[in-house]
Amino acid sequence: MGQFIDLTAADGQKIPAYVARPAGQPKGGIVVVQEIFGVNSHIREVADGYAQDGYLAVAPGTFQRVKPGVELGYADADMQEGFGYKTAVEALPAPGVMQDLQAAIDHAAQQSGGKVGIVGYCWGGLLTWRAACTLNGLAAAVPYYGGGVTTPEEAARQPKAPVLAHFAEQDHWIPLDSVEAFRRAHPEVRVFTYAADHGFNCNQRGSWNEAAARLARERTLAFFAQHVG
Q: Minimal CA–CA distance to 62: which of 94, 34, 32?
A: 34
What is the spatial distance between Cα 186 and Cα 189, in angstroms, rounded to a whole number?
6
Query: At residue 156, what is the residue type?
Result: A
Catalytically active residues are 122, 171, 198
Q: Do 132 and 160 touch, CB atoms closer than 8 A?
A: yes
DSSP lists the bridge partners of residue 142 as: 119
Q: Do 141 and 132 touch, CB atoms closer than 8 A?
A: yes
DSSP string, 168-224: ETT-SSS-HHHHHHHHHH-TTSEEEEESS-TTTT-TTSTT--HHHHHHHHHHHHHHH
What is the spatial distance between Cα 116 and Cα 212, in angstroms, rounded to a whole number?
25
Query: At residue 136, what is the residue type?
Result: N
